[in-house]
Structure 1
């Protein structure tokens, strides 16, 4: 076997990154589309391939999900290469998160050392939100990749002043803007100002030449917007985006996703719950570095964390992904606290560990009980219970190593194994809780030919997943809500399916008392209310 292969196999980082690659990809084919954002993005990508219009994202019931196009382009390319299905849809997000973990190890290793960086990778990869972004094809994974690249590039411009880092920084900013617009400018601007104030090497940041490169960096986004603006439809789209993504989110929230200051921080505590014992130590070390103003890696990473988090605590909208850029430095902070604890002669006493593990077991008990309150099969409930018991046994086993050198390795391994089981096993086998759109489409495709029209007369929440799955199997899918019109469609067509809400069902029962309905009730949706779909099929 070649020596470089042997060296690779002996490298712990290779196995850790490979493990997270498996976690990220496992089960992606077996989970149906999430009703709102993900389904809309799938629709945008497929429509771009079908129509050749790569400028304006278009799909039924998806207007509120439109954004700058980079993520949709990546989805469309993935569909072109691999086919139109859930696994292909999620490839860009999966690669973006895996690339972020790789970046944390490679660039983070240059910054804080390989041991610290690899520990941070283990923590970030085991956190809930980061892995969720890898498994759900939303824009935030690609945005996080380029935001993290911009942060590392700025750090190395500060440390080295090399033009390659300047070029990489502005490339990352340009791609992030083409993914989601201004958020990266806000993050990079705050981070840059903090570094200018705190770092003795602040003059190196002048090599970024923002007065020249920022306008150049905006050109890809501006060029796309200008091309859109050449049509009436494009002008309306650009004006809508300015209002929806800038004006409304500065002055208020969307979809009711709001909360008081501190909401984002509480979310991060929950997302990093397996490592919460080290959060106080991580924050104390970070704030101490801020107070002492001693320039070191702790201060730099603390400033990165502040740039990605603090300002968003005071904006009305509180989507958790808004502060995901802060999850990367927080992982480094937690890793530093963990390693400091491991190497320190003065360690927290047994009560702290008892409290930590009691909290973990409370969470495990809640997760073990939850399936018995959901509409899941007995077999699925038993699998949930077996997984929870297995993780509990691993926790107990790791506790037996508390005073041994191997304890911290087990402390990191248990959340990693849990992440694999949750995302690769538990989520796929519980997909029936949310896959009503796919089940309706599959049911109708078994009953009717592809030429039969399908009428959507259920306007609950407008989930793009419903038209996406329907248009995969049927050539004609359209909306109609007038009761008399629906009855007429039913009589005029030899084969037809009509998807009704409860009011429509009642009207149909009055007009056509012998018609049979098939009911579909999702347990979980992307919105707070619960719909019911009532399907009429004329074969």
Structure 2
């Protein structure tokens, strides 16, 4: 047999792996899968490695992770010279491990959010596939990927994308058991994911609210049985007939709570043991703060971000676009399915409502608090979207939304390029752009041009496709074109680089009234005097530190904290960053500063960004 014949025979065998590839591309769902996951990687990953951490939270977590790597102290995280007890350390661990793998902080600090967002998408897509059809799963995935709130947060290095993943994964495990099971391994894994969510951010336990409707159904079932079959009370309690695959009498039920305790103990047990046995009062203070003040205390008596009780409704109707544009048509459909006691809708919808109620009780509210509810909301819309999007008015609304978004981008970008709007002048002053904002204007205009191209391509015939393509392009262009332009002024890299060049490598820098991004971007050997303490105390310690080596030490001070005893003619305004002005104060600029000079204008502030 000739060599060519042998090769043809090898290629013709049904076991040859390459024959699988053409079949994959003949399947429309495979096309859809490839398109979706490539789009997800582009939307969420565009800009990775092109910027540094930005306030308010990103520099804080990156700084804590960096100090973990440098000091080897992973159990008790530090911010500067102080212990950092605002959040559990799991998210900072993931950033530190990402750095150990990649060796690049610009990649490492965003990598956990990217992977968490992709994991959340997988949970939603696979759950939609299992509860309905693969097509419904991808409808849920596209709905989540293109919702403004999800994409915006997924491209930030905050804790919230990670906690959203763990909560969604916990919901996934619980629903795999409750709706497609019994699947006791997924039941335990769901509880375990909820526990990991707790040591990521304390609210991770809200995933277990999914069990509350089941518990209520079990309690009301005897009452429903006693009512007349055709009575109003029986019809009102018809939903309690939904199947319940859990019961405390089943020994396997307790695998879930046990898995939850194990997950929480991975961090809590060694931390409590070391804190109680060390005899160090700072560790005891850390323990009390993170276990009580930052969890139950913060929920019961919020001390920041006060908002009215309806605040989260406003967040959903503004930041959950374009998903919420389909709400008027979804409400009636949900009502019919709940009337049939369809547990696929009842459990996620009840959980969504419980999450809103839970976060509406405290006075302190932020938009990210209800972000964990968004994946389940997308899952609830997904089975209805094929029917909704065949209607005329939803298609018109999708087209109008896209046209409005594109028009806004083009108007802003072109007015910045050709005109001189007031907001542009203010932006240039705050950001210190040397090109008069032309690069930023070009990026915004490019986003508008992409959207216009999508509308021309398929706007009237396929308005939903044009909307999805426009939104994906917005986030890709944002990551590749906008964030690099804003990086120096948003991350403090620019001002800290200028400060290092100005003082040289042989002079020490001491930070007063600093922000996390300043220490994160500073040169090695930079000194800080604490963060939580007031500016007055930092200034006292900084002046005393500088006086011990006047020629080799310079203070880096935020403008409001520069005391009146400093001669600003001998000091140097080194730049603006994060809407703040920063000064270098050499010893020669001090004109008889006392040990405790008063701050000018009585400003002693250390608020977060």
Query: Contact conserved, 2:410 with 2:449, CA < 8 A, in 1?
Result: no
CA separation of 1:253 and 1:392: change in aligned 2, threshold 3 A: farther
Q: 1:194 aligns with which of 182, 192, 213?
A: 213
Correspondences of 1:288-327 after superposition (within 5 Å) = 288-290=336-338, 292-327=339-374
The answer on 1:55 being equivalent to 2:104 is: no
Q: 2:556 aligns with which of 499, 505, 513?
A: 499
Query: Contact conserved, 2:48 with 2:110, CA < 8 A, in 1?
Result: yes
- State the match for 1:413 in structure 2: 469
How far apart are the structure 1 equivalents of 2:260 and 2:84?
28
Q: 2:517 aligns with which of 465, 484, 487?
A: 465
CA distances 1:407-430 after superposition (whole Å, capped 9, x unpaired): 433332222222222233223323
Which consecutive residues of structure 1, in runs of 5 or more, have no partner in the other structure? none
- State the match for 1:348 in structure 2: 393
Query: Contact conserved, 1:451 with 1:476, CA < 8 A, in 2?
Result: no
CA distances 1:27-55 after superposition (whole Å, capped 9, x unpaired): 13222212332212112212222222211
- State the match for 1:137 in structure 2: 157
The answer on 1:66 being equivalent to 2:86 is: yes
- State the match for 2:502 in structure 1: 447
SS of 2:584 mapped into structure 1: strand
SS of 1:56 mapped into structure 2: coil
How far apart are the structure 1 equivalents of 2:83 and 2:407?
41
- State the match for 1:474 in structure 2: 524
Query: Contact conserved, 2:542 with 2:555, CA < 8 A, in 1?
Result: no
The answer on 1:12 being equivalent to 2:32 is: yes
CA separation of 1:124 and 1:80: change in aligned 2, threshold 3 A: same
Q: Which moved more, 1:448-457 or 1:355-364?
A: 355-364
- State the match for 1:250 in structure 2: 299
Q: 1:280 aligns with which of 328, 332, 336?
A: 328
Correspondences of 1:130-529 after superposition (within 5 Å) = 130-159=150-179, 160-181=181-202, 183-188=203-208, 190-196=209-215, 197=217, 198=239, 200-206=241-247, 207-209=252-254, 212-229=258-275, 230-231=277-278, 232=280, 233-254=282-303, 256-290=304-338, 292-343=339-390, 347-348=392-393, 352=397, 356=401, 359-360=404-405, 363-364=408-409, 368=413, 372-373=424-425, 374-375=427-428, 376=433, 377-395=437-455, 397-401=457-461, 406-435=462-491, 437-457=492-512, 459=513, 462-470=514-522, 473-479=523-529, 481-482=538-539, 486=543, 489=546, 492-502=549-559, 505=562, 507=564, 509-510=566-567, 513=569, 515-522=570-577, 525=578
Shift of 1:433: 4.3
Query: Contact conserved, 1:454 with 1:476, CA < 8 A, in 2?
Result: yes
Q: 1:103 aligns with which of 98, 110, 123?
A: 123
Q: 2:100 aligns with which of 80, 96, 105?
A: 80
Which consecutive residues of structure 2, in runs of 5 or more, have no partner in the other structure? 1-16, 218-238, 417-422, 530-536, 589-609
SS of 1:500 mapped into structure 2: strand
TM-score (norm. length: structure 1) = 0.85
How far apart are the structure 2 equivalents of 1:278 and 1:322?
23
Shift of 1:153: 1.0
SS of 1:535 mapped into structure 2: strand
How far apart are the structure 1 equivalents of 2:410 and 2:324?
18
Shift of 1:94: 1.1
CA separation of 1:103 and 1:4: change in aligned 2, threshold 3 A: farther
How far apart are the structure 1 equivalents of 2:197 and 2:324?
30
How far apart are the structure 1 equivalents of 2:372 and 2:541?
52
The answer on 1:90 being equivalent to 2:145 is: no
Query: Contact conserved, 2:455 with 2:463, CA < 8 A, in 1?
Result: no
Shift of 1:211: 5.8
SS of 2:385 mapped into structure 1: helix
How far apart are the structure 1 equivalents of 2:521 and 2:207?
37
Q: Quick check: which has more Rg, 1 or 2?
A: 2
CA distances 1:342-376 after superposition (whole Å, capped 9, x unpaired): 35xx5438875676456545754675468735215
CA distances 1:210-242 after superposition (whole Å, capped 9, x unpaired): 565554454324313323423323221110113
Query: Contact conserved, 2:558 with 2:583, CA < 8 A, in 1?
Result: yes
In angstroms, what is the RMSD of aligned CA positions?
3.2
Query: Contact conserved, 2:547 with 2:587, CA < 8 A, in 1?
Result: yes
SS of 1:257 mapped into structure 2: coil
Query: Contact conserved, 1:399 with 1:407, CA < 8 A, in 2?
Result: yes
How far apart are the structure 2 equivalents of 1:350 and 1:50?
54
Shift of 1:88: 1.1
CA separation of 1:434 and 1:222: change in aligned 2, threshold 3 A: closer
Would you say how many aligned residue pairs link Structure 1 and Structure 2? 515
SS of 2:393 mapped into structure 1: coil
SS of 1:260 mapped into structure 2: coil
Shift of 1:314: 2.5
CA separation of 1:154 and 1:351: change in aligned 2, threshold 3 A: closer
Shift of 1:450: 3.7
SS of 1:240 mapped into structure 2: helix
- State the match for 2:137 in structure 1: 117
CA distances 1:160-208 after superposition (whole Å, capped 9, x unpaired): 1122212321221221122123x222331x2111244346454313353
